[in-house]
Chains A and B, each alone.
Chain A
């Protein structure tokens, strides 16, 4: 089991998964950062993104990758509307109220999807689904490489937007200090709407990418949502760069742990890590070195 090629191939797989995990968690991190709301409907939008990709694919033979791009504006608009109609109304109340509202939204999305598409496994088979490319002497499925490439590109664009545009800067300023943001003239209400739109769009985008790798049902999304929580908690909740770190940690721990335990127990690692991280290091892994420095 623990041969060098084996370790390297697991490492490559872990790296590829980390890219997907990062994209999948960014939406959650943006919404949490700006609004301090834990978005329990994240799973619903991951799932809906996947099903919309299926619809595009069946209706117009649209490739899942293009479907992912199409999902960005569609779900940005959906997120914006949901914010204006629902989420905004509970923002001033107890934090648990927004959590429960978004949880209810998840239930609604999930069961509407069940009513429309039923509970059977769905999958999207493209011309390249079963192709593989040699990388460092290992044959890697093409879909995984594509997903990783798209994930990297998206993270690059997102990084640029956050760092160099007005909206991005306003968004980060709001994350750091909402009141100071208001003082310098940022419309925080508007920024919250943008954040919820972006978060929803990224969830759906990630959902589309997931269709390249997995089959899906309306229940699909729950485990990915929990993993996203683990990732943003590991990353430090309000730290966008931390998302990538968290994604890498989770992905590598999961991938290598499978060498030592039953594969069916893999998800337990993420769940256990979530609970432990919440209790032991609410500031994320970054907390470990900031604390040791002081």
Chain B
């Protein structure tokens, strides 16, 4: 009887989850289904919006906001002046915002 009581107090296997093969460690916050769905939807919306702006604006925005080049590098790559690069980026962002105006709740959260 004492042995049984001792076993109840101190189980033989201290980590019973290791015995269960279906056990998985808890997922982090980045795996939250709602968050993943919103991110996917946002990516899809931006991808579609990027196809609807002009080629020059898209090139400038992709190089600046996504690839991380600065204004000078983009001006050198595209062969236009610094002011033109800035103008294309600003106009492109305004165009993106107009295209995404009815889905802005995806980006405000």
Q: Are these two chains actual partners, yes or no? A: no
